[in-house]
């Protein structure tokens, strides 16, 4: 098994994460700015040049958001740059793209997004078994003090973990 991995090491093969996904883009700031209530894995309708551009690992989810229009879910402002070798068939970088979900998931999202403060935010764009997928989240915007509180909790957790590991190291040295 290790020999097979070594063969593909320098050949441009993208690494896969623990879920078997080939990561393209990630929106790390979304988890800081929003309280994530629920996540959904969606297919995404793309043109050929968009897929080729994604295979090169080029995309940005930073300004992206989801919107429900006419019983369909659409992804807006996700930047997939034009394919360098594309001709007149090339796509526009920030066009709206349709997301593929089951009807019951769309109905659930319609009910939840009508509540005040709820929005759809893309978290991760990846390939799974050769198909482009996007993970969207039903999220609620955080206030500034909520963001500070989350940061403070994260720092406190990190400090306590450091103190615990230091105490364990001291015990091992004594024993």
Q: Is the pLDDT of residue 18 over 60?
A: yes
What is the Cα–Cα distance from 47 to 83, expressed in whole angstroms? Answer: 11
- What pLDDT is recorded for position 8? 45
Q: Is the pLDDT of residue 7 over 70?
A: no
Query: What integer is the mean pLDDT of 144-159?
Result: 82
pTM above 0.75, yes or no: no
Highest mean pLDDT among 21-25, 94-98, 155-159: 155-159
CB–CB of 132/59 below 8 Å?
no
Q: How far apart are CA 137 and CA 123, in angstroms?
A: 7
Considering only residues 103 and 47, tell me which one the structure prediction assigns the higher pLDDT.
103
Contact of 98 with 44, CB cutoff 8 Å? yes
Identify the pLDDT of residue 81: 80
């Amino acid at each position: 098994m290790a020999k097979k991995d070594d063969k593909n090491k320098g050949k441009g093969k993208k690494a896969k994460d623990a879920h078997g996904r080939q990561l393209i883009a990630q929106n790390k700031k979304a988890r800081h700015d929003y309280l994530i209530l629920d996540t959904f894995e969606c297919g995404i309708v793309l043109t050929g040049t968009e897929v080729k551009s994604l295979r090169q690992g080029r995309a940005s989810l930073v300004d992206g958001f989801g919107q429900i229009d006419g019983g369909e879910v659409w992804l807006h402002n996700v930047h997939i740059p034009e394919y360098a070798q594309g001709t007149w068939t090339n796509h526009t970088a920030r066009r709206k793209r349709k997301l593929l979900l089951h009807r019951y998931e769309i109905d659930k999202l319609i009910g939840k997004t009508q509540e005040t403060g709820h929005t759809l935010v893309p978290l991760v764009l990846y390939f799974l078994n050769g198909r482009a997928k996007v993970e969207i989240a039903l999220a609620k915007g955080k206030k500034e003090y909520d963001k500070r509180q989350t940061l403070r909790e994260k720092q406190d957790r990190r400090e306590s973990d450091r103190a615990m590991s230091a105490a364990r190291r001291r015990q091992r040295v004594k024993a």
